[in-house]
Structure 1
Amino acid sequence: MSGARIGPVGAVLRHAVLLGAAALALMPFLWMLATSLKPQNEIFLSEIRWWPQRLHAAENYAKAFERAPLARFLLNGVIVTGTIFLAQIAVALPAAYALAKIRFLGRELVFALVLFAILIPPQAIAVPLFLLFHQLGILDTYAALIAPFTISVFGIFLMRQFFMTVPDDLVDAARMDGISEFGIVWRVMLPTAIPAVTAFGIFSVVAHWNDYFWPLIAVNSRELFTPPLGVVAFRNEEAGTDYGPLMAAATVIIAPLILAFLIAQRRFIEGITLTGMK
């Protein structure tokens, strides 16, 4: 009986803590959205006002698109993140399949090297990459934004963990049907790995859509700016202290990520759950 009485109390406390943590995490985004709806004279009030007395959304969002080429920044983000994700999947799936389902000498050593590579921060190799791309003459191009991230060791690790949960009998049956190893990767393993691919896609797209460090080094042309660079350029060069249009621009740039996560939420959770089973 005492356990039955304590259970609901514990559940209420747990949900209260989770709701409080969620509120703290969402607070900056909600304030950004609220600021994008306010006129300039209501942004710096001494009191906290979530909803403006005079709605200024149309003016702020119109100015955001007038003062900076937001559509171009968003298109650049789609091109860069989409190409990076496709290249990472093209490399990660065969590599993960080999590490999970093909027995060869040194397999465990190769997997250990993959785990070690996850520990190397991208900032540590930024200078050598910059010098290499300078010699190749591809700085200030889409290639400079995409090439360093075409191989994702985290993606290989995540896919390998998922493939470890796939029964060996499925792979053996495909081999008996005469399917090649690459055919097994794309015709058998890929359809079963959609939840893991979706989970990895969320990680990849969010990381590279929000990446500010490498694009700042790799490109100078405004027409190649990715969304984070676009926001900084908008603030420093165009908007000045006009924070309404600035927050409107930030809202427009963040909105695709939120929409993508909401669409893929179920698959994302499923993929994370399954990759941790073994």
Structure 2
Amino acid sequence: MSATTSTRRLSRPAAVLRHVVLLFTGALILVPFLWMILLSLKPSGEIFHASFWPAQFFGAENYKKALTEVPLPRYLWNGLIVCAVILTLQILVCAPCAYGLAKLRFPGRDQLFKMVLVGLLLPHQVLSLPLFILGYKLNILNTYTALIFPYVVSPFGIFLFRQFFKTIPDDVVHAARLDGLCELAIVWKVMVPMALPAVIAFSIFSVVGHWNDLFWPLIAVRDQSLMPPPLGIVVFKNEEAGNDYGPLMAAATVIVLPLASAFVVAQRWFVDGLIGGAVKQ
């Protein structure tokens, strides 16, 4: 009893320290977002003042300016279309590939998986020039297709789904085959529903990554009606807002809000999807 009590007493300082570190790092991450929201409520004359709370509430004017002076709803719609199509195509491609690497045996399987790992190591910027030349040859630049086609195959998606599929017992696959299901039917009717946490986790990664992507859209599109939210914000800053940072921060808040809301709703499945592939069965 005394040994257990002493162990608990020794673990309390460590637990307190752990929580302090987590609170501090969490504050470091959240403070810029909080500051962005507060700046979106201030008039231009108070932007660079040291006061935390705005002396004059200017939120309605800033948000109205952000939504009317530039086609911000159009940028949001473009981002929604691009992210939804990319995510759909990625799942359609990655799930069967991951199933083949996890549950099928064929020559060269391990070598293919090594190539997937190499794809994880390559930053997308390395491939931007070949992709730009390919897009030019295919005459798809300055279209939605140009924003979508470089991301159809996701090495991270294949890796995440493979790791999760490997935790599903082989007996489940054998039983599905005995029921007369083909391999593709097993993927979509058995494996993907059982790997729903991994699908949700990957969906969050994919949507956040492509919603916030600025580098490739800056290269691929020039038409303002095709610009996704980050590129639209750059145009807004350069052409419309100038030094008026209040509407700029309001536009940034509107763009961040859908992602933050989606993550809050799906955070439990997000964590389950990340740790599921690490569990040995």
Q: Please report the TM-score for the alignment, with normalisation by the length of structure 2.
A: 0.96
| Number of the residue aligned with 1:5 | 9
Number of aligned pairs? 276
In 2, the alpha carbon distance for the partners of 1:80 and 1:44 equals 36
- List per-residue Cα deviations over 1:119-149 (Å, max 9, x = no partner): 1111111111111111111100000000010
| Number of the residue aligned with 2:195 | 193
In 2, the alpha carbon distance for the partners of 1:142 and 1:215 equals 10
Q: What displacement does 1:12 show?
A: 1.3
Is there any run of 5+ residues in structure 1 with no aligned partner, and where?
Answer: none
Please state whether the residue corresponding to 1:241 is helix, strand or coil.
Answer: coil
Aligned residue among 20, 29, 43 for 1:39: 43
- List per-residue Cα deviations over 1:8-57 (Å, max 9, x = no partner): 22211110110000000111111100100111121111x2x222122111
Please state whether the residue corresponding to 1:166 is helix, strand or coil.
Answer: coil
In 2, the alpha carbon distance for the partners of 1:119 and 1:138 equals 27
* Bigger shift: residues 130-139 or 191-200: 130-139
Letter in 1 for 2:264: L
| Number of the residue aligned with 1:228 | 230
Aligned residue among 256, 259, 262 for 2:261: 259
* Bigger shift: residues 128-137 or 164-173: 128-137
| Number of the residue aligned with 1:70 | 72
| Number of the residue aligned with 1:20 | 24
Please state whether the residue corresponding to 2:55 is helix, strand or coil.
Answer: coil
Please state whether the residue corresponding to 1:58 is helix, strand or coil.
Answer: helix
Aligned ranges 1:175-186 → 2 under 5 Å? 175-186=177-188
Aligned residue among 244, 248, 251 for 1:249: 251
In 2, the alpha carbon distance for the partners of 1:118 and 1:9 equals 39
Aligned residue among 15, 21, 29 for 2:33: 29
Q: What displacement does 1:118 show?
A: 1.2
Q: What displacement does 1:109 show?
A: 1.0
Aligned ranges 1:1-278 → 2 under 5 Å? 1-45=5-49, 47=50, 49-278=51-280
- List per-residue Cα deviations over 1:161-184 (Å, max 9, x = no partner): 000000000000000011000000
In 2, the alpha carbon distance for the partners of 1:91 and 1:98 equals 11
Q: What displacement does 1:158 show?
A: 0.4
In 2, the alpha carbon distance for the partners of 1:200 and 1:276 equals 15
In 1, the alpha carbon distance for the partners of 2:45 and 2:278 equals 51
In 2, the alpha carbon distance for the partners of 1:244 and 1:116 equals 43
- List per-residue Cα deviations over 1:160-216 (Å, max 9, x = no partner): 000000000000000001100000000001110110000001111111000000000
Please state whether the residue corresponding to 2:13 is helix, strand or coil.
Answer: helix
In 2, the alpha carbon distance for the partners of 1:50 and 1:100 equals 53
Q: What displacement does 1:2 show?
A: 3.1
Letter in 1 for 2:204: I
- The structure 1 segments of at least 4 consecutive aligned residues displaced by more than 6 Å after TM superposition are none
RMSD (CA atoms): 0.9
In 1, the alpha carbon distance for the partners of 2:153 and 2:171 equals 29
In 2, the alpha carbon distance for the partners of 1:111 and 1:235 equals 43
Q: Please report the TM-score for the alignment, with normalisation by the length of structure 1.
A: 0.97
